[in-house]
Structure 1
Amino acid sequence: MRHSSLAQFGLALSFCIAAAQAVCAGQTESRIRGSILAISPHQITVNDRTGEAVSFILDDATHYVGEKPVALTAIQPGSYIGCATVPAGGGTLRALEVTVFPPSMQGAGEGHYAWDLLPHSSMTNGTVGHLSHADGEVMTVTYDGGEQKIRVPHGVPIVTVEPGTLRALHPGVKVLILPAKGAPGHAARILYGEQGITPPQ
């Protein structure tokens, strides 16, 4: 039963990441990052990064994903990860965050594409190959069609994901909201921080 639940969750989050990639590809809807101001079964209002209050409709199609911190040792050769990065020079990237996915999500959102966390940032979803230890981790991440060398400095947020629920949301919780395609007033996906963390993506 637990395996079935994880598989279903992996599929749901795969849709989440696919939606995020589509936004990068030119959809007008954009990700909203902020803190919850108010929440009800049918609406969420957040204070976004500019300080503006933004509201979204919640419905049966809204998916919820919890994120919690894990140790650097959670990154192992063979781990499937997502990593927001910025250029570091010399053909390498510097990690802004690392998301370690459960095995059921192998292949979700695989690739290397533009991201909107910071100017010139990108997202790499792939499998960790070689790992070395020098001023933090240095990892080679491979994906269909390429690979990236990524440095993970000390102190970079490292999280994993798990199935979430609306009941976990309350004022003050930090969230990342993906609006629904073609219906920007509806929340398609809500990633939220557990244990007081901010979703680092």
Structure 2
Amino acid sequence: MTRRRILLAATALSLAGFSRAWAQGTPRRVRGTIAGLSGRDLTINTREGGTAAIRLAENFSVSALRRVELSSVAPGTYIGTAAEPGPDGVWRALEVLVFPEAMRGTGEGHFAWDLTPTSSMTNATVDSAVEGNDGRSLTLTARGQKVQVVVPADAPVVTPVPASIEDLRPGAQVFLIATPGPDGGLTAARVTVARDGVVPPM
């Protein structure tokens, strides 16, 4: 098994853990910039203006993101998309994450998301993709539920790629999902970090 496949498998396992945490209603999504890293203790200046102390799990993984073409989001692709409701009742994507095949099924479902006050997240398989005047219209199926999402041309479309602890530099923008422990401390199994100008959009 190649190093890339090992890292993607580790990412899939950590996201599966996030999915279980979602079911328990316990995770905290953290977005912000790195203030510092000491051993496995990560300090983040959050987008809300506070500071979060995160303990990275022993087997934590780091991923970055690579831009992909919107045209690559075709029927059969497994994606995650944060979206806001449009005036016509159709969801409008704020971003699209194209999952590698090894991560198919990760966090499947349609649920509330805190990127914006009204956003949702849909992790699902693309049933159909049609070009329209206002973007690419996707029909998604998640656990038997169909969701219609329009992806505007300016919405970021990305896919995860392996990264390393060396990418966790002060000032780098990050996204992670942390789980509170019995003592209230936060632990994360995976960090998504900005690299090569691609910022985590989720």
Relative to the length of structure 2, the TM-score reads 0.87
Q: Which segment is superposed worse, 30-39 or 185-194?
A: 185-194
Q: Secondary structure at the match of 2:105?
A: coil
- C-alpha contact 2:175 2:200 (8 A) present in aligned 1: yes
Gaps of 5+ in 1: none
Identity %: 37
Cα RMSD for the two superposed structures: 2.1
Which amino acid counterpart does residue 54 of structure 2 have in structure 1? F
2:144 is aligned to 145
Greater than 3 Å deviation, 4+ residue runs:
none
Cα deviations across residues 60-100 of structure 1 (Å, max 9, x unaligned)? 14332222222212211111000001111333101010000
Residue aligning to 2:107: 109
Shift of 1:45: 1.4
Question: Is 1:165 matched with 2:155?
Answer: no
* 2:68 aligned to which of 67, 70, 94: 70
Is 1:44 matched up with 2:42? Answer: yes
1:100 maps to which of 77, 98, 101: 98
How far apart are the structure 2 equivalents of 1:46 and 1:176? 10
Partner of 2:19: 18
8 A contact 2:81–2:95 mirrored in 1: yes
For 1:149-193, what per-residue CA distance to the aligned partner results, in whole angstroms no more than 9, with x for missing partners?
Answer: 101012111110123321221112110122134253323321112
Amino acid aligned to 1:110: E
Between stretches 45-54 and 176-185, larger displacement belongs to 176-185
Distance 1:61 1:7, change over 3 A: closer
CA contact (8 A) 2:14 2:189 kept: no
Kindly tell me the number of residue pairs found equivalent between the two proteins.
198
> How far 1:111 moved relative to its partner?
0.9
Match of 2:9, SS?
A: helix
Name the SS for the 2:49 alignment partner.
Answer: coil
- Alpha carbons of 1:163 and 1:133: their partners in 2 closer, same or farther (altered >3 Å)? same
The answer as to whether partners of 1:34 and 1:175 remain within 8 angstroms in 2 is yes
Q: What is the TM-score when the length of structure 1 is the normalising length?
A: 0.88
Q: How far off is 1:9 after superposition?
A: 3.1
**CA distance in 1: counterparts of 2:37 and 2:20, whole angstroms:** 23
Q: Do the aligned partners of residues 6 and 93 (structure 1) sit closer, same or farther apart at CA in structure 2, a change above 3 Å counting? A: same
Structure 2, unaligned runs of 5 or more? none
